[in-house]
């Protein structure tokens, strides 16, 4: 995720900000522009239900229209209802969109009982991660045809009820909100011997299952997929039981997998690899927005400037992405260790794992360019 700048005063702002600390203007992320903007209340108002002008709208009734402070075109947005009612979102909704919720929030079909304070806090954290997922999927041009199919259910375990299992089925992503509890997530990470477990990672992983159905199954790539990942018809329940029962992955798993859990089943392999690809393009976008250049330790060939994978200039191919990714993750991990933290990216990608990552890159590139025979570069991405 790049660092943004306030469209009013130029000060650095971040994706989650709702107010510029420098000029004081309200901020919103405008999903149709894929950009943050300083906004101010417009004088006209909309009432979607009656088409009648609203006499005295309150700033919190969700009907207030906002303009960009740097734009006189009359283009307007409302704030997502989860912003006005819950203070849980900072996305705008274009004024001609009848939805009260933004493109991200409207995908949540079920939320836990938000009158319970802890549930509300956990839900807010999950929605923050989900908006980051939305941003990267939109940057990869993956939301245009599929965004409205993607549905989320964020559920809490209830006393005496069945345990909520995080996963994907039939286009619905379910997440147990306990994953938003830092202590509980850490406990599960340690219990499952995982080096990395985050809300964003969960959502990226589960979105991989969703897009497998659309980009592999529905686009007749199963044969190609199977060559690299194996037979997806392998009994899923049995495969997972074997993985957890046998105590994890084979000792040489790193030769062909991004992580141990990816060995559990070809679908899990794909979802983990997909998540790593989203990690990669997001981290490179972040690094490029800070104009990062890196020296490859031990390589005297000079420095590598990190290029925005979604930028307008020449677009890096997969080898260029990996060439930047490797030193950036080394830098990232070294800086974390300098602060006494563990590695932020506790993985090492081998040639076998990179082959699978390249396949994800090619599938996304081909899909995003309208299946026009693209070689899989990111060219043409960047639209909403
Ligand atoms: Zn500002
Ligand atoms: Zn929203
Ligand atoms: Zn999975």
Is 211 part of any domain? no
pLDDT at 205: 97
pLDDT at 166: 93
Is 342 part of any domain? yes
Ligand 2 centroid–CA 184 distance in Å is: 26
Q: What percent of the chain stands above pLDDT 90?
A: 78
pLDDT at 381: 36
Backbone phi, psi, residue 371, to 5°:
55, 40
Is 303 part of any domain? yes
Same-domain pairing of 93 and 111: no
**Tens of pLDDT, residues 309-360:** 998 766 569 999 999 999 999 999 999 999 999 999 999 999 999 999 999 9
Is 48 part of any domain? yes
Q: Which residue has the tokens 């506790």?
A: 346
pLDDT at 147: 60
The closest ligand to the CA of 173 turns out to be 3
Beta strand pairing call for 12-13 and 77-79: unpaired
Q: Give the residue from 102, 131, 164 where a domain finishes.
A: 102
Same-domain pairing of 89 and 111: no
Same-domain pairing of 113 and 90: no
Ligand 2 centroid–CA 128 distance in Å is: 9
Is 212 part of any domain? no
Ligand 1 centroid–CA 143 distance in Å is: 29
pLDDT at 374: 34
The closest ligand to the CA of 107 turns out to be 2
The closest ligand to the CA of 5 turns out to be 1
The closest ligand to the CA of 20 turns out to be 1
Q: What angle do CA 327, 198, 137 make, to 5 degrees?
A: 75
The closest ligand to the CA of 36 turns out to be 1
Ligand 3 centroid–CA 272 distance in Å is: 7
Q: Give the residue from 143, 173, 203 where a domain finishes.
A: 203
Is 93 part of any domain? yes
Between 364 and 147, the higher pLDDT residue: 364
Same-domain pairing of 230 and 192: no
Ligand 3 centroid–CA 269 distance in Å is: 8
The closest ligand to the CA of 134 turns out to be 2
Average predicted confidence (pLDDT) for the chain: 89
pLDDT at 375: 36
Residue 372 banded pLDDT, cuts 50, 70, 90: very low
Q: Give the residue from 102, 130, 162 where a domain finishes.
A: 102
Ligand 1 centroid–CA 7 distance in Å is: 7
Ligand 1 centroid–CA 71 distance in Å is: 15
Q: Please check the confidence at residue 373 and state whether its pLDDT lies above 90.
A: no
pLDDT at 369: 56
Q: Which residue has the tokens 């006499």?
A: 55
Closest CA to 40 of 59, 21, 55: 59
| DSSP E strands, 95-150 | 108-110
Same-domain pairing of 264 and 348: yes
CA dist 180 and 123 (Å) reads 8
- CA 376, distance to chain mean position in Å, is 20
Is 208 part of any domain? no
Q: Which segment of 18-27, 73-82, 184-193, 300-309 scores lowest on mean pLDDT?
A: 300-309
CA dist 231 and 222 (Å) reads 9
Residue 257 banded pLDDT, cuts 50, 70, 90: very high
pLDDT at 352: 97
CA dist 2 and 262 (Å) reads 29
Q: Please check the confidence at residue 264 and state whether its pLDDT lies above 80.
A: yes
Between 377 and 202, the higher pLDDT residue: 202
CA dist 262 and 254 (Å) reads 10
Ligand 2 centroid–CA 273 distance in Å is: 28
In total, the chain counts a number of residues equal to: 384
Ligand 1 centroid–CA 21 distance in Å is: 7
Ligand 3 centroid–CA 331 distance in Å is: 29
pLDDT at 144: 81
Q: Which segment of 92-101, 215-224, 237-246, 309-318 scores lowest on mean pLDDT?
A: 309-318
Asked if 104 and 89 count as a contact pair (C-beta separation under 8 A), the reply is yes
Same-domain pairing of 237 and 382: yes
Q: What is the DSSP letter of 165?
A: P
Q: What is the DSSP letter of 32?
A: T
pLDDT at 357: 97
Ligand 2 centroid–CA 37 distance in Å is: 15
Same-domain pairing of 252 and 343: yes
pLDDT at 250: 86
According to DSSP, the residues that pair with 383 across neighbouring strands are none
Same-domain pairing of 44 and 173: no
Same-domain pairing of 126 and 197: yes
Across the range 220-229, mean pLDDT stands at 97
- For the chain, what percentages of helix, strand and coil (3-state, to nearest 5) are there? 40, 15, 45
Ligand 2 centroid–CA 238 distance in Å is: 39
CA dist 347 and 37 (Å) reads 36
Ligand 2 centroid–CA 89 distance in Å is: 5
Q: What angle do CA 284, 290, 294 make, to 5 degrees?
A: 65
Same-domain pairing of 236 and 372: yes
Q: What percent of the chain stands above pLDDT 70?
A: 89
Ligand 3 centroid–CA 205 distance in Å is: 6
pLDDT at 370: 41
The closest ligand to the CA of 236 turns out to be 3
Asked if 4 and 13 count as a contact pair (C-beta separation under 8 A), the reply is yes
CA dist 290 and 278 (Å) reads 19
**Tens of pLDDT, residues 195-214:** 899 999 999 999 999 999 99
Ligand 3 centroid–CA 198 distance in Å is: 14
Ligand 1 centroid–CA 131 distance in Å is: 22
pLDDT at 196: 92
- State both tokens at 48: 């979607």
Is 209 part of any domain? no
pLDDT at 224: 97
Across the range 21-39, mean pLDDT stands at 97
Query: Is the pTM higher than 0.95?
Result: no
Same-domain pairing of 132 and 267: no
**Tens of pLDDT, residues 47-66:** 555 555 554 555 556 689 99
End-to-end CA distance of the chain, in Å? 15
**For residues 330, 180, 144 and 354, what is the CA-based torsion angle, rounded to 10 degrees?**
30
Q: Which segment of 280-284, 344-348, 377-381 scores lowest on mean pLDDT?
A: 377-381
The torsion region of residue 55 among left (phi > 0), alpha (psi -120 to 50) and beta comes to alpha
Ligand 1 centroid–CA 4 distance in Å is: 11
pLDDT at 284: 97
Range of the domain at 129: 103-203
CA dist 56 and 173 (Å) reads 40
The closest ligand to the CA of 25 turns out to be 1
Domain tally, the chain: 3
Same-domain pairing of 240 and 355: yes
CA dist 20 and 330 (Å) reads 32
- State both tokens at 212: 């497998």
The closest ligand to the CA of 270 turns out to be 3
Between 266 and 244, the higher pLDDT residue: 266
Ligand 3 centroid–CA 202 distance in Å is: 9
Q: Which segment of 30-39, 222-231, 288-297, 334-343 scores lowest on mean pLDDT?
A: 288-297
pLDDT at 59: 52
């Amino acid at each position: 995720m790049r660092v943004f700048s306030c469209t009013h005063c130029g000060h650095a702002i971040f994706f989650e900000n709702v107010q510029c600390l420098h000029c004081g203007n309200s901020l919103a992320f405008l999903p149709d522009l894929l950009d943050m903007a300083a906004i101010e209340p417009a004088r006209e108002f909309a009432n979607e239900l009656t088409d009648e002008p609203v006499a005295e709208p309150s700033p919190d009734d969700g009907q207030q229209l906002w303009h960009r402070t740097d734009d006189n075109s009359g283009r307007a947005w409302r704030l997502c209802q989860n912003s006005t009612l819950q203070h849980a979102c900072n996305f705008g909704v274009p004024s001609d969109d009848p939805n009260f919720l933004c493109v991200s929030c409207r995908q949540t079909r079920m939320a836990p009982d938000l009158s319970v304070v802890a549930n509300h806090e956990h839900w807010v954290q999950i929605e923050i991660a989900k908006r980051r997922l939305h941003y990267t999927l939109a940057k990869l041009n993956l939301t245009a045809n599929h965004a409205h199919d993607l549905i989320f259910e964020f559920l809490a375990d209830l006393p005496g009820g069945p345990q909520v299992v995080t996963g994907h089925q039939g286009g619905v992503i379910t997440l147990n909100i306990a994953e938003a509890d830092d202590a509980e997530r850490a406990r599960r990470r340690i219990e499952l011997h995982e080096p990395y477990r985050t809300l964003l990672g969960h959502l990226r992983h589960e979105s991989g299952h969703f897009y497998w159905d659309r980009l592999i199954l529905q686009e007749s790539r199963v044969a190609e997929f199977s060559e690299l990942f194996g037979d997806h018809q392998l009994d899923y329940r049995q495969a997972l039981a074997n993985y957890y029962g046998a105590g994890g992955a084979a000792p040489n798993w790193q030769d062909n997998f991004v992580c141990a859990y990816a060995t559990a089943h070809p679908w899990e392999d794909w979802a983990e690899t997909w998540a790593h690809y989203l990690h990669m393009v997001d981290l490179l976008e972040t690094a490029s927005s800070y104009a990062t250049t890196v020296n490859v330790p031990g390589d005297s060939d000079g420095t590598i400037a990190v290029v925005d994978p979604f930028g307008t200039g020449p677009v890096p191919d997969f080898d260029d992405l990996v060439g930047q990714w490797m030193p950036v993750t080394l830098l990232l991990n070294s800086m974390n260790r300098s602060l006494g933290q563990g590695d932020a990216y506790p993985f090492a990608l081998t040639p076998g794992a990179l082959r699978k990552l390249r396949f994800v890159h090619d599938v996304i590139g081909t899909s995003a360019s309208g299946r026009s025979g693209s070689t899989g570069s990111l060219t043409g991405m960047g639209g909403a």
